Structure 1
Amino acid sequence: MRILHAYKVYLPGVYGGIPSVIAMLTMLPRMGFQTEVLVACDRGMGRKYEFDGVNVEAVSSIGTVMSTPLAPSYPFRFAERARSSDIVVHHAPFPLTDLGVLLMPKDSVLIVHWHAEVIGRPWLMRVLAPFIRNSLKRADKIIVSDRVIVENSPFLKTFEDKCVVVPYGCDDAYWGELNHAEQRAVDNLQRQYPRLVVAVGRLVSYKGYEIFLRAMQNVDTDAVIIGEGPLKADLIRLSEELGVLDRVKFLGVLKSHEVKQYVHAAKALAFPSVTEAEAFGIVQLEAMSAGKPVVNTALATAVPQVARDGKEGLTVPPNQPAAFAEALRRLLDQPDFAARLGRSGKERVRTEFSKTLFLSRMQEIYQEAHHRRRSAQ
């Protein structure tokens, strides 16, 4: 069975939650699936490459505007690739795939993996809304990570009967364990930063790093921010203005084992997202696998349902630096409490958010959708 995953970006060029989910889904070939990925270049000529044994095609793009590649050929290439695929997975949001859905064969199985809402830009949404609704109408199944996403989405309510809740998974064995070299690196980091807080994610507005930096003014801690993005220069400048640049390090994109070392060395994960564009937060699962508590925000998404307030972390209102600082201080100053939350988080990932559980659920959905479509023909 051939599966085509379609989105705007993929590894290793961009580190982020959706590419990481796609990468996990490419492990399904071991269960009898042949998986390929279609994306767009951020700029330049198209190319084909292999990443972790998976064939990836990136179509040509003349640039990127509002986080969307300008790739005129993408919808046509998507439709062409869909014709030779048994299942097509549209990782939304990506408007060019919605345009491609208009051109794809009527008998193709379409799964929409709804990762997040498009927040803001109301004028743009008025233009895109008919195409998004067409994709959802056309879909055999719509995958969401939490029920609350359906309840709060202006698009999904109409198609509630197609929606299936499948929480994301995490390779808890990888994120929870250290080899000898990694343990030595963690020990060194903890000696260097005995009260370390780590944040991981792209440097974009909805991640709330401005709130985190303002909170840092009132927390006796060092912090590392792992990730790249268009706001990096602005955030460094703000750190200097706030007088925290000597305690905050912007490390850029790191390899996964390096991220793991910083997560294990930290006392807590800071996850200060401020809008519903943050739908889940897989990095929360990674930190929980390492036994670390999380400070997250009370968004109307799955975010506060992953690391729950008082159980696996602390949840505060978004856009409130004082509340975020207070939560960080509580975890740093009450190590026994933080350790209890960390143990609970580790167990929660093992039983509810494991990679194995996620893949088995997705396998069932793909097979059922394919069987139902073929039976109806």
Structure 2
Amino acid sequence: MKKILQISNYQYPHIGGIEQVARDIADSLLDDKEIEQKMICFNEDAQDGNYLCHRKETMHDSVDGVEVIRCGCFAKVASQSLSFTYPSELKKVLKDFGPDIVILHYPNPFVSSFLLPMLPKITKFVLYWHLDITKQKILGKLFHGQTLHLLERADKVIATSPNYVDGSPYLSQFRAKCEVIPNCIRMERLTPTAAIYKKAELIRKENEGKILCFGVGRHVPYKGFTYLVKASKLLDDRFRIYIGGKGELTQSLKEEAKDDPKIQFLGRVSDEDMIAYYLACDIFCFPSITKNEAFGIALAEGMYFANPAVTFTIPGSGVNYVNLADVTGIECPNGDVRAYANALKTLADNPELREKYGIAAKQRVIDKFTYREFKSRINDMICRVRKQN
């Protein structure tokens, strides 16, 4: 029996990109009866059905049949949770569970400071690199030495795109250890029902004759929705732009768009509504602008529904690995509002080009970013790490 411990930032019912990848990894390994799994993370206020979590509480429960140790938090500094119970819980699970492989989802500097001295030399260590620390520049400099130690200790470093390996000042120094496993979409979650198809038809009927553009994500600076709002002001009235999600910038985005009837904010959208808009739209807008957007699951989902994508060029980000310029959509100079508007006009004026890019977009997702492909790569990687000397 091989034992695997994942160290994630949080876990379901808290929803985020890193958390979903950790859950996908756990799901990918469930079929192997020779593998026993556990996961440790911070706790966070979140609820989904019967799952109810409180940030300050340390608790053990399970997700998809895998035990999850949630460590209560007393504060959050620079997006990093802090916990009194984490060191003791980590020490206990390393000793009592005795994992053969530890998978650390990076960045997580607070946990790394405890993990490095605690991790037995015989334990295989996989560093799952989601993104560089870019937003908190002081924090990044403070933990520079720690980050190098993590990479030196790692038996394998997983990146989500070749672009990130090339663009990261850290990963580019450790190419020999790096392996690319792209993030995945869960196709079963995206399967439309009859009710969803009907909802998509209603959206189209309400906007008959219009070019529908759809974008969804948290309303935070790096997601770039302000550039989409600005681009809309340069478009004519044939366009309708729907923006889903919420966040710290929601109110300022609404204020910026108040005189533009082409834009409608949807708020937080359910899975059913999101699929309906994926089906209904003509163009998928993904205006992220920094490497904080390391991959773009929503981008892959939008493309899966045969929608051409419009993105910005983000050096070192996987966004431009998911959406290929002039193959699955259009890529614009970063932050160039006029170029973004012109890209939307180009696609609006050329239905054949929209269809060509849309077909290629769907095929790229099917070929590269499905759960089936992800599961195969994860199991293969774990098998090779187990055999490493």
1:1-16 alignment to 2 at 5 Å?
Answer: 1-14=2-15, 16=16
- Report what 1:135 is aligned to: 150
Deviates more, 1:149-158 or 1:229-238: 229-238
Q: Which residue of 1 aligns with 2:246?
A: 228
* Whole-Å separation in 2 of the counterparts to 1:36 and 1:82: 10
Q: Distance in 2 between matches of 1:199 and 1:72?
A: 39
Look up the equivalent residue of 1:196 and give its one-letter code. L
Aligned residues: 368
Superposition map of 1:142-153 within 5 A: 142-153=157-168
For structure 2, list consecutive stretches of 5 or more residues without a partner in the other structure. 45-54
User: Mapping of 1:43-82 within 5 angstroms?
Assistant: 43-82=55-94
Query: Structure 2 CA distance, aligned partners of 1:123 and 1:354?
Result: 36
Does the 8 Å contact 2:232/2:262 carry over to 1?
no
How far did 1:344 drift?
0.8
Q: For 1:227-251, what per-residue CA distance to the aligned partner results, in whole angstroms no more than 9, with x for missing partners?
A: 33333333333333xx237722142
Give the corresponding residue for 1:180.
194
Instruction: Provide the residue aligned with 1:26 in structure 2.
Output: 26
CA distance in 2, matches of 1:228, 1:9: 20
- 1:305-343 CA deviation, whole Å, 9 max, x = no partner? 211111111100111111111112222332221111111
1:111-135 deviations in Å (ceiling 9; x for gaps): 1111111114332212111111111
Q: How does 1:164-313 map to 2 (within 5 A)?
A: 164-172=179-187, 174-175=189-190, 177-194=191-208, 195-219=211-235, 220=237, 221-240=239-258, 243-244=259-260, 247-252=263-268, 254-300=269-315, 301-313=317-329
Distance change >3 Å, CA 244–CA 126, structure 1 → 2: same
**AA matched with 1:9:** Y
> What is the CA-CA distance between 1:299 and the residue it aligns to?
0.9
**Higher deviation after alignment, 303-312 or 216-225:** 216-225
Counterpart-to-counterpart distance in 1, 2:275 and 2:94: 37
Partner of 2:337: 321
- Show structure 1 runs of 5+ residues with no match: none
Q: Distance in 1 between matches of 2:194 and 2:166?
A: 46
Identity %: 26
TM-superposition CA deviations, 1:29-82 (whole Å, max 9, x none):
023344333221344223344434443332111232322212243344334323
Do 2:310 and 2:331's aligned partners in 1 also have CA atoms closer than 8 Å? yes
Written as runs of structure 1 = structure 2, the 5 A alignment for 1:346-365 is: 346-365=362-381
Q: Tell me: CA distance 1:116–1:106, structure 2 relative to 1, closer, same or farther (3 Å).
A: same
Q: TM-score, normalised by structure 2?
A: 0.87
- For the residue of structure 1 that corresponds to 2:31, the secondary structure is helix
Give me the whole-angstrom Cα distance separating, in 2, the residues matched to 1:7 and 1:231: 27
SS across alignment from 1:318:
coil
Instruction: Please identify, of 93-102 and 225-234, the stretch whose mean Cα deviation from structure 2 is larger.
Output: 225-234
Change (3 A) 1:69 1:326: same
Partners in 1 of 2:181 and 2:204 — Cα distance? 36
**How does the TM-score come out when normalised to structure 1?**
0.90
Counterpart of 2:11, as a letter, is Y
| DSSP 3-state at the match of 2:74 | coil
Higher mean alpha-carbon deviation, 77-86 vs 58-67, is at 77-86
CA contact (8 A) 2:230 2:337 kept: yes
CA RMSD of aligned residues (A): 2.2
Once residues 133 and 347 of structure 1 are traced to their aligned partners in structure 2, the CA distance between those partners, rounded to angstroms, is 38
Q: Is the 2:78–2:136 Cα contact (8 Å) retained in structure 1?
A: no
